Chain A
Amino acid sequence: MITIPYLTAVSTYFSYGLLFAFGQLRDYSRRIFDWWSTNNLHGYAPICLAHEDFYIRRLYHRIQDCFGRPISSAPDAWVDVVERFSNDNNKTLKRTTKSTRCLNLGSYNYLGFGSYDEYCTPLVIESLKKFSPSTCSSRVDAGTTSVHAELEECVAKYVGKPAAIVTGMGYATNSAIIPVLIGKGGLIISDSLNHTSIVNGARGSGATIRVFQHNTPAHLERVLKEQIAEGQPRTHRPWKKIIVVVEGIYSMEGEICQLPEIVSICKKYKAYVYLDEAHSIGAIGKTGRGVCELLGVDTADVDIMMGTFTKSFGSCGGYIAGSKDLIQYLKYHCPAHLYATSISTPSAQQIISAIKVILGEDGSNRGAQKLARIRENSNFFRAELQKMGFEVLGDNDSPVMPIMLYNPAKIPAFSRECLRENVAVVVVGFPATPLLLARARICISASHSREDLLKALQVISKAGDLTGIKYFPAAPKKQEEEKDTIKLD
């Protein structure tokens, strides 16, 4: 639940109104200017419609230097951020050869596998020499190696399902699998804050899409009842299939899904559950098995479990885990399996080695240490930020913590101020979040040490004071009160 000070809401709308008005003015003068100047593009249709491009040209490009910063080292706890400069007011940015070493609070490097690892990297290099960087073919042609077969078994066992299928790209896992599972005549009920890959897959499937209020099982039940009673649009026949799509951790809120209630509602109304664990697999739960382990949900109750390897495992690609029949069906029908290039073999080896480290099968307890450290780090950081008076979203134990900014001008201000102090944060604004709710998203990693976190807290506090985002009163300092009472004695 996001609590906004009323004045901030009003001033944010006003700022966006001003930016919109100035953007329209500039577009208008640009149109007059272009009408006067000659060009030899007579008869050519425009590449994109002027109004579709408005947001990118007039709002995003003005603060482009805060997004898409190139890095020149592995995304570990500290990363080299390449410096850029612009000669035309941020319309184009040019890279320099210099880079600054910054504390990395933006990578999804939850377990610290993002850079050299003493167990995984030698095995990956060996596999690179043995198998070559790419298989250069789809899974059904010549793209299945022994490593791929081992990976699918390994993932299925880790997640707790009978079988799994792995694809080369995490986004494509959602957008290519959902159209295979459901088609016209089916119903997809998805959470209102689901990721774009799910929205794209749902739109591409041809099924009817309904949305329920974020993480509210009561509203899901109401939508399900309504839709089952009404049936398909126009014909009112019963639905062929109903799939409810939820995510484990919502990447923009840091909230954990209320899985037990949602699963019980879906069982009651006989709908399938599709769980997207992109951010939660490997990061939460006692052995890192994701939100099912954390909330005590039996994996047999969740019909389709999807996840990606880009976050906690330091690799690429995504997987779907389910019953043997489901995976067999997907292997025969899914375009990501039949036509797309298979996941590169060294990346697959990285995932297998990372899973072995997490489970402790490499002979050390580094996995358990990493899981304990990320939980400790997230809880400590979140508690400290809340004590300073920031509005931080997300549940306890979740390594994703968005700090609310709201005003559009605070987005570049916060980002640039942090970069000046050598802390790299990711800020998110309008299309990815609702208009009012711009935020800076912090992702904690197991490779952050206590000193790193303290430095980050100090820099964020200073930037927060300068930009005025401490919307809640700071917690009073208890230690000084205790010292006073001791002195009196």
Chain B
Amino acid sequence: MYVRALPTTDVNRNTEWFTYPGVWTTYIIIIFFSWLLVLSVFHCSPGMAWTIVHLAHFTVTYHSFHWKKGTPFGDDQGIYNRLTWWEQIDNGKQLTRNRKFLTVVPIVLYLIASHTTDYQHPMLFLNTLAVFVMVVMKFPHMHKVRIFGINGDQ
């Protein structure tokens, strides 16, 4: 089964890999396999495993999308040094398909995690906190906003 790869107009090499086909599927497959891994390592209930996956996903995506700024290449000469990865994708355009997909994934994870733990505390509280922060960070109004100077420039 073949797909066509159209060349993109994104010049930022840090984010243009996200525009090619197959990324969304790989993302979902990685999440699913990490759930299987957690289940086999910790021998916990499926609901607990989904909660762990959800919280780990929150930590990893918070750090890589919304905390780390700039690009891993020196020859971009620091033009993106003030922008996090989330602010760089799609050239800063809001509400594109990629952004909508990346907002929906934590919400779906939250729904699965809460459903499989039967909405019990303390998992419900942690999950809700995580998804609330995740979704608020991805609002178009939060573009380039640094609350209380957290993660601001020196």
Most buried by A among B20, B29, B72: B72
B146 at the interface (CB under 8 A from A): no
- CB atoms of A193 and B26 under 8 A apart: no
Task: Report the minimal beta-carbon distance from A203 to chain B, rounded to whole angstroms.
Answer: 8
A361 to B16, CA, bound (A): 49
Q: A48-B74, A435-B20 are in contact. Are A10 and B5 (CB under 8 A)?
A: no
0/1 string, A1-43, CB within 8 A of B gives 1:
1111111011011101100000000000000000000000000
Give residues 378-399 of A contacting B (CB, 8 Å).
none
Interfacial residues of chain B within 48-83, with CB under 8 A of chain A in the complex: 68, 70-75
Q: Give residues of chain B (15-32) contacting chain A, Cβ–Cβ below 8 Å.
A: 16-17, 20-23, 25-26, 29-30
Confirm or deny: A67 has a beta carbon within 8 angstroms of a beta carbon on chain B. Answer: no
Q: Which residues of A contact B71 (CB under 8 A)?
A: 52
Q: Which residues on B sit within 8 Å (CB–CB) of A3?
A: 2-5
Are A434 and B73 closer than 8 Å at their CB atoms? no
Q: B17's contact among A14, A48, A436, by CB below 8 Å, is which?
A: A436
Asked if A6 and B5 make an inter-chain contact with CB atoms under 8 angstroms apart, the answer reads no
CA distance A252 to B26 in the complex (A): 26
Rounded to whole Å, the gap between the CB of B101 and the closest CB of chain A is: 15
Please tell me the size bucket of the interface on A.
Answer: 35 or more
Shortest CB–CB separation between residue A27 and chain B, in angstroms?
A: 11
A482 at the interface (CB under 8 A from B): no
A211 touches B20 (CB 8 A): no
The reply to whether B70 and A10 form a contact with Cβ atoms under 8 Å apart is no
Q: How many whole Å from B67's CB to the nearest CB in chain A?
A: 11
Given the known inter-chain contacts A435-B17, A436-B22, please indicate yes or no for A193 contacting B7, CB distance below 8 A. Answer: yes
Q: Is A325 among interface residues, defined by CB-CB distance under 8 A?
A: no
Interface SS, B side: loop
Q: Which of B6, B10, B23, B72 contacts A1 (CB 8 A)?
A: B6
Q: How far, in angstroms, from A4 to B25 measured CA to CA in the complex? A: 15
Is the CB of A199 closer than 8 A to any CB of chain B? yes
Chain A positions within 8 Å of B20 at CB level? 9, 434-436
B8 interface residue per 8 A CB criterion: yes
CB of B147 within 8 Å of the partner chain: no
Measured between beta carbons, the chain B residues less than 8 angstroms from A68 are none
Chain B residue numbers with a CB within 8 Å of A5 are: 1-3
B74 touches A192 (CB 8 A): no
Task: Identify which of A4, A13, A14, A17 contacts B2 (C-beta below 8 A).
Answer: A4
Q: How many A-B residue pairs lie within 8 Å, measured between CB atoms? A: 98
A171: Cβ under 8 A from any B Cβ:
no
* A437 interface hit (Cβ, 8 Å): yes
Other-chain contact of B9, A17, A199, A212, A437 (Cβ < 8 Å):
A212
| Chain B residues within 8 Å of A10, by CB | 22, 25-26, 29
Complex Cα gap A351–B97 (Å): 52
The CA-CA distance from A12 to B17 in the complex, in Å, is: 11
A98 at the interface (CB under 8 A from B): no
* With known contacts A52-B72, A55-B72, A6–B4 Cβ distance under 8 A: no
Q: Provide the bound-state CA to CA distance between A219 and B9, in Å.
A: 10
B7 x A6 contact (CB < 8 A): no
- Shortest CB-to-CB span from A404 to chain B, Å, is 10
Known: A3-B2, A54-B72. A434 touches B26 (CB 8 A): no
Name the residue on A nearest B26 (C-beta).
Answer: A13
Asked if A9 meets B21 with Cβ closer than 8 Å, knowing A1-B4, A17-B30, A211-B11, the reply is yes
Q: Is B115 an interface residue, CB under 8 A from the partner?
A: no
Q: Mark A176-215, 1 if CB is under 8 A from B, else 0.
A: 0000000000000000110010010000000000011110
Q: Taking the complex as formed, is B93 at the interface, i.e. its CB lies under 8 A from any CB of chain A?
A: no
Does A234 belong to the interface (CB within 8 Å)? Answer: no
Given contacts A3-B3, A4-B22, 10 further A-B contacts (CB under 8 A): A3-B2, A3-B5, A4-B2, A5-B1, A9-B21, A12-B22, A51-B70, A192-B11, A430-B13, A434-B8
8 pairs, CB–CB < 8 Å, chain A vs chain B: A1-B5, A6-B1, A7-B1, A12-B22, A17-B26, A51-B72, A435-B16, A436-B17
